[in-house]
Amino acid sequence: MTRGRKRTGWTLPFLYFPPTWVLVACLSPGPTRTVAGDNAEVPHYFDTEQQTPSQPRQIRLRLRDLEVPLASDAGVFAHARVDAGTRFLLRRAPSPPPQGDILDLGCGYGPIAIAVGLRAPLARVWGVDVNARARELAAANATAAGAGNVVIAAPHDVPDELRFAAIYSNPPVRIGLVQLHPLLTRWLGRLHEGGAAYLVVHRHLGSDSLARWLRGEGFATDRLASHDGYRILRVQPRTAVGDDR
């Protein structure tokens, strides 16, 4: 029914105007964010410097062979619990090479890098992330876990000449394809011949189309395992398929 008052046979509609402070709050821009992605809806955990208020918490990574306490915080990926895709990757991907340099691309607070480092104590594991808060957490978690072979770094701090025996990653697919594609080609291009990358991506986040794109770029890619919509993609270096790009 139309709300209003009757005057001389006319029904006047009731119009609501919010107070000025409501309009200002709705129209005023939020604080400026420094983000790594092209996507305007990119989650805040891709910010290089966090503006999210700190809310520290303790969580646990539980695997068949490992149980590791981890410090987490607001403003990092999967801050409330270890992501299901990360757990699936660590349970189903092949064991890491016993030696050499290994990469965790987008390491967050460190569950993949630390688990790989504990499983391959003679290897050097690089955990790379743009998020400064995530890197601080990952470094502290690696120290607490006794994973002295884990190195946490910003992307630009990884030596250019370094090549990786393997990559294990829950890649940052939410940054958008314009940023994701060059990010993946850059780091996958640093695999040693005979090495492999293991990427976990959910089907609803484009795992199948990502696999097709990687093949089109010259990276031999196959689905290693699948569970609850998550796919583990095994990606070989371009040299393994005779591509000299």
Q: Domain residues of the chain, as ranges?
A: 83-241
pLDDT of 163 strictly over 60: yes
CATH class of 83-241: alpha beta
Assigned token pair, 217 = 């770029």
* Residue that is written with structure tokens 């890491």 in the block: 96
- Residue-level pLDDT at 52: 81
Quote the longest CA-to-CA distance of the chain.
Answer: 90
pLDDT of 217 strictly over 90: yes
Give dist(CA 86, CA 65) in Å, integer. Answer: 15
**196 and 166 Cβ atoms separated by less than 8 Å:** yes
Q: Which residues contact 32 (CB under 8 A, 6 or more apart)?
A: none
The residue with greater pLDDT, 245 or 65, is: 65
The residue with greater pLDDT, 207 or 20, is: 207
Give dist(CA 89, CA 202) in Å, integer. Answer: 11
The Cβ of residue 199 has, within 10 Å, a number of other Cβ atoms equal to 27
Q: Which of 17-26, 55-64, 191-200 has the lowest mean pLDDT?
A: 17-26
CA geometry: angle at 122 spanning 85 and 135, to 5°? 50
CA contacts within 13 A on the Cβ side of 31: 9
Name which of 141, 119, 116 is nearest 60 in CA terms. 141
- Average pLDDT in the chain: 84
Assigned token pair, 19 = 């107070």
